[in-house]
Structure 1
Amino acid sequence: MNFALVLFILVVVTGIAWVLDKLVFAKQRRRAADEAVAEFDRQQSRVEARFANGNADQIRARLRDDNLRQPWWLEYTASFFPVILAVFVVRSFIVEPFKIPSGSMVPTLLVGDFILVNKYDYGLRMPITNTKITQGRPLQRGDVVVFRYPKDESVDYIKRVIGLSGDTVAYEDKKLTINGKPVPEVAQPDFFDEERVGYSKQFTEDLDGRKNNILNNLQVPPFVMGAGDFPNRDNCNYNAQGVTCKVPPGHYFMMGDNRDNSADSRYWGFVPDQNIVGRAFFIWMNFSNLKRIGSFE
């Protein structure tokens, strides 16, 4: 089950319990506490002063505390509502944590990186349905974005935005071209890819003035193997050199920085705008390498 849906259900259940406790159950407990103290006082008044309980004040306090105490089912519902509500609001509208599960974004993001995703930059969206309720700024080429995988929207993917609506994106002979203009790249020292235990060619790519490193494995052929069927597939032309796609309106073309080890738009198609979750911007933890903590933009 989708975690956002689980969290929403918890908010609703604990919220109902919290409201009922404030409006009904708390009043009942206060009334029971007052009645217990009053009954104790009546019993005390029936005995002679010399036989009266010397710990009357402590007994009254204990009676009141015992009757005001929430039952266990309220302790585990209403008491947790403020915390669960705060988590739900922060996670849904401000920032959400994710863990990088694969090497498709190496060298920018490594397996085991825990990242934060900005949930409001592209406009606020309703939890669960992901319906946009504020506009926000448009996506830009070079943004690292978390989105719902078009073939299974219960799964979150992370890739880099390469093509915007209307762009013609070509990736042929391992060279990226956008709208007929080659994307500049500068060679860097080879990168040791721990996932495949080998070196890959590394380049710094310049997307509209935004620079990021990418990897190429020269042992992998340039053509796309195993591309499936997807909406607007007719917008793509596959050949021995690679693929050329025209991005349809309201969609994006995504690619991983580890170009020869990334299942991305070359294989499963375009990402619709309604699938966008948010912009990744910060590594907040990597238990294997604390030096990874920080911004990667």
Structure 2
Amino acid sequence: MNWRIFPKKRTEDKKKTKKREWFDAIVFAVVVATLIRMFFIEAYTIPSGSMERSLLIGDYLFVSKINYGARVPMTPIAFPFAHHTMPITGGKAYYDGVQWKYRRLPGLSEVKRNDVVVFNLPVGDTVALENQEPSYYNLVRQSDWKTVNSQYTVTSRPVDKRENIIKRCIGISGDVVSMKDGIVRVNGKIEPLKNTGQMPYKIQFKTTDINFDLFKDMGFTVTEMEQVDANTYIANATPEMIGKLKTLDFVKSVTLAVAPEKTDDGDLFPLDPNRKWNVDNFGPIKIPAMGWTVQLDSNTMPLYYRAIRTYEGNKVEKKGNSWYINDKPATSYTFKMNYYWMMGDNRHNSTDSRYWGFVPEDHIVGKALFIWMSWDKDASFFHKIRWNRLLRGIN
């Protein structure tokens, strides 16, 4: 007679239970990691030199989602840990058949001037050049992206699945930004480039016998210095480096190497032939703020057309000399979102708001906090890790 109250479990059942435990543990870990990445903190890698010298290629960062408030996923059905492209297969890592409206949880603060911010690339009609590394995208802006030449691969993704990029916030909503002779002005006040950023300088020497080892010690990348003539070079440098350079007795003069005013670069925001702007001279431009009403005319529409149409989802048409928004005559428009002006610290090697204009608040991902790893792929094996950059805060 079997006196057991509960029957003994078979070996097969025990094995199934162990498998189920492992499965449950893996699912739990994936869910927790996904929620942390989605609502608290996310890793980010610096792919280009647009933020030098504050951030270098190969820096690995942690980006806080809670500082500005985590953005509720706008494309909720997606493969865990993949941004927009599946690993190995290369297909879409999300399903865009389900789209949620933009919502953001309460945060610790608003975006502030000089914050280093990660955000989604704001040009929805951006295309990626073929034969480039996957992490690198050339910004080719077209009025109608469907007519782009076949040499390009068109990418049109949901907002939260567009490329993540990192820049410094120069102006917040309501600010008036401009740039003259390479110097940024915010609300009429000069905002000098900090020692974390760099500009090209024209350096004239008194002699052709130059000890370039001195330049290396001051932080110059000698191999990137452009020789203009026997005594003149152009080099990227921070204000601090230039201060040291001017103390050398063989230096004749040092000046910013900037484009002359009224020189038209041709491909800058807002692509208005009546504005002769370049990367060193533009503006003034008022950044839209939620609740701000702008009068619509031939002067303002080139600046705000894209924000009104693309970012805020309105139908915008011009009939004769009048503007129509959602098929109704409009002489003014009140903005629904806040916007920001973003620029790279490496001012002459950055595609930023000077090219594609304002960054809407629904594109903001988070605030860059600190560097947890820095990897120099061009260094020798024993010097790959930049130990002096580990756990460095970002400011």
TM-score of the pair, normalised by structure 1: 0.65
Cα deviation code 1:104-142 (max 9, x no counterpart): 000000000001111011122213456213254111100
Cα deviation code 1:213-266 (max 9, x no counterpart): xxx995553657353566xx77x9543661112211210000000000000000
* Structure 1 residues 273 and 217, CA gap change in structure 2 (3 angstroms): farther
Aligned ranges 1:19-58 → 2 under 5 Å: 37=8
Q: Check the 8 A contact 1:255/1:264 in 2, yes or no.
A: yes
Aligned to 2:286: 246
Secondary structure of the equivalent of 1:267? Answer: helix
Cα deviation code 1:271-296 (max 9, x no counterpart): 00111000002000012312111213
Aligned AA (1:258): N
Secondary structure of the equivalent of 1:147? Answer: strand
Aligned to 1:290: 387
d(CA) in 2 for partners of 1:118, 1:270? 22
Q: Check the 8 A contact 1:176/1:183 in 2, yes or no.
A: yes
1:133 aligns with 2:105: yes
Q: Check the 8 A contact 1:105/1:159 in 2, yes or no.
A: yes
* Structure 1 residues 197 and 248, CA gap change in structure 2 (3 angstroms): same
Cα deviation code 1:9-34 (max 9, x no counterpart): xxxxxxxxxxxxxxxxxxxxxxxxx7
d(CA) in 1 for partners of 2:219, 2:48? 17
Match among 136, 144, 148 for residue 116 of structure 2: 144
Aligned to 1:259: 347
* Structure 1 residues 219 and 185, CA gap change in structure 2 (3 angstroms): closer
Larger radius of gyration: 1
Q: Which has the higher helix share?
A: 1
What is the CA-CA distance between 1:171 and the residue it aligns to?
Answer: 1.2
Aligned AA (2:355): Y
Secondary structure of the equivalent of 1:125? Answer: coil
Aligned to 2:236: 200
d(CA) in 1 for partners of 2:367, 2:67? 7
d(CA) in 2 for partners of 1:239, 1:66? 71
Aligned ranges 1:146-295 → 2 under 5 Å: 146-152=118-124, 153=159, 154-184=162-192, 191-193=219-221, 196=224, 199-203=235-239, 218-219=256-257, 221=259, 225-228=265-268, 237-239=275-277, 242-244=281-283, 245-249=285-289, 250-287=338-375, 288=384, 289-293=386-390, 294-295=392-393
Aligned to 2:70: 124
Aligned ranges 1:56-135 → 2 under 5 Å: 62-70=11-19, 78-129=24-75, 131-135=103-107
TM-score of the pair, normalised by structure 2: 0.50
d(CA) in 1 for partners of 2:349, 2:359? 19
Aligned to 2:248: none
Secondary structure of the equivalent of 2:118? Answer: strand
Consecutive unaligned residues in structure 1, runs of 5 or more = 1-33, 38-59, 205-215
- Identity, in percent, stands at 34
* Larger displacement relative to structure 2 (122-131 or 284-293): 122-131
Q: Check the 8 A contact 2:183/2:192 in 1, yes or no.
A: no
* Structure 1 residues 145 and 186, CA gap change in structure 2 (3 angstroms): closer
How many equivalent residue pairs? 224
RMSD: 3.3
* Structure 1 residues 280 and 224, CA gap change in structure 2 (3 angstroms): farther
d(CA) in 2 for partners of 1:117, 1:194? 32
Q: Check the 8 A contact 1:224/1:242 in 2, yes or no.
A: no
Q: Check the 8 A contact 2:225/2:236 in 1, yes or no.
A: no
Cα deviation code 1:137-160 (max 9, x no counterpart): 111100000001111441011000
